[in-house]
Amino acid sequence: MDIRITHSQVKKEKYTDESTLGFGRFFTDHMFEVTYTKDKGWHNAEILPYHRLSLDPASSVLHYAQEFFEGMKAYRTDDNQILLFRAKDNCARLNRSAQRICMPEIDIDFNYKAIKTLVDIERDWVPSSEGSSLYLRPTMIANDETLGVKAASNYLYYIICSPSGAYYKDGLSPINIKVEDKYVRAVRGGTGEAKTGGNYAASIKAGDEAVKLGFSQVLWLDGEEMKYVEEVGAMNMMFLIDNKLVTAKLNGSILPGITRDSVLTLARDMGITVEERKIAVEELVDAGKSGRLTEAFGTGTAAVISPVGMLAYKNEQVIINNRKIGELSMNLYNTLTGIQRGRIKDKFGWITVV
């Protein structure tokens, strides 16, 4: 399928100070859009000026949340090349979300072409300061104009781009996390491993209550026993226990993070023992108290690597590494962002030049 391109006649005013970008607040001049109908399949692929969507109030996505999204980034190198990081892996995960939410898949090569073409058109919007990037948000929504609860016949897929800085306002400063012991995010057989809006809607109340108590995020426990650690709202979690890097095994209710996979690959490459397994929250608390839990951090596209300085579970507080970023966390952050910014050789085939 060809992509029709219509350049915007009006250019938006650009930010002057990259340090004020924040996350997901500004959007570029263009977006990609393609339509699906049962009869025609995917058709009408376009890059066109960024615009508002016009949806019928009965549109299925607005009622039954049949939608999913992705998150990936484009980076500027010191010599002004634009790099994409593992974008094809995002296209593949997008199709796994599509299967789970009963929505049409998109050919990976076509999707990748759409992403690259859009980023090429928006290349001037890719920021250059440390920690900044152009965050890409591919999104698919169901768009039938009827209130019946069933898989829709009409869909819209679009990609928008947002020049962004750090996800957490304090960047690499260790955050405080509350282990959630009342609400759950995902259950066995549910949609936890899909990147669908409903998972995030289900998490907002707990997040809101945690923020009021002075935490940045909640750490979810499994939905059955509320015993095993799963992930944080926008990140997978890693723990350095007895010098082994431990993370929750993918079990169907955790998002298979691309940063998670990258960090595990880098850690193995550094000779660190990695364990993907069930982690009981009590084990974490005990390891924290006995000094065997020496580092903890979250991983995610938006959050990159986010050190955790304190975990609170019920009445217990575990302070990690004196609330300072640990050596391994820093090393992994430097290596990962070094590859993403083209400063460290990419021996894993993760980078594409746009």
Which positions lie near ligand PLP, rule CB under 6 A?
A: 71, 231, 234-236, 255, 257-260, 299-301
131 contacts ligand COI (rule: CB under 6 A): no
Q: How far apart are CA 202 and CA 186, in angstroms?
A: 8
Task: Please report how close the Cβ of residue 172 comes to ligand COI at its closest, in angstroms.
Answer: 16
Q: How far apart are CA 177 and CA 173, in angstroms?
A: 13
Q: Residue 133: beta bridge partners?
A: 164
Q: How far apart are CA 255 and CA 239, in angstroms?
A: 17
Task: Please report how close the Cβ of residue 241 comes to ligand COI at its closest, in angstroms.
Answer: 25
State which of positions 284-303 bind ligand COI (CB under 6 A): 300-302
Q: DSSP string of 169-218?
A: TTTTSPEEEEEPSS--S--TTSSTTS--HHHHHTTHHHHHHHHHTT-SEE
247 binds, among ligand PLP, ligand COI, none (CB under 5 to 8 A by kind): none
162 binds, among ligand PLP, ligand COI, none (CB under 5 to 8 A by kind): none
Cβ nearer to ligand PLP, comparing 235 with 354: 235
Chain position carrying tokens 């979690």: 237
309 binds, among ligand PLP, ligand COI, none (CB under 5 to 8 A by kind): none
Query: Total number of residues binding ligand COI (CB under 6 A)?
Result: 5
Q: How far apart are CA 308 and CA 325, in angstroms?
A: 8
Q: DSSP string of 286-320?
A: HHHHTT-EEEEEEEETTTEEEEEEEEEETTEEEE-
State which of positions 58-117 bind ligand COI (CB under 6 A): 71
Interface mask toward ligand COI for 14-53; x: CB under 6 A:
----------------------------------------
192 contacts ligand COI (rule: CB under 6 A): no
Task: Please report how close the Cβ of residue 235 comes to ligand COI at its closest, in angstroms.
Answer: 7
142 binds, among ligand COI, ligand PLP, none (CB under 5 to 8 A by kind): none
Task: Please report how close the Cβ of residue 337 comes to ligand COI at its closest, in angstroms.
Answer: 14
Q: How far apart are CA 155 and CA 33, in angstroms?
A: 11
CA-nearest of 278, 281, 280, 290 to 314 is 281
Among 175, 234, 264, 296, binds ligand COI (CB under 6 A): 234
Cβ nearer to ligand PLP, comparing 29 with 70: 70
257 binds, among ligand COI, ligand PLP, none (CB under 5 to 8 A by kind): ligand PLP
Q: DSSP string of 59-107?
A: BHHHHH--EEE--EEEEE-TTS-EEEESHHHHHHHHHHHHHHHT-----
CA-nearest of 123, 157, 119 to 136 is 119
Amino acid at 276: E
CA-nearest of 245, 218, 217, 223 to 331 is 245
Cβ nearer to ligand PLP, comparing 36 with 215: 215
Residue nearest to ligand COI (CB): 71
258 binds, among ligand COI, ligand PLP, none (CB under 5 to 8 A by kind): ligand PLP
231 binds, among ligand PLP, ligand COI, none (CB under 5 to 8 A by kind): ligand PLP
Cβ nearer to ligand PLP, comparing 132 with 143: 132
Sign of CA dihedral 8, 12, 14, 20: negative
**Residues that bind ligand COI in the complex, under the rule CB under 6 A:** 71, 234, 300-302
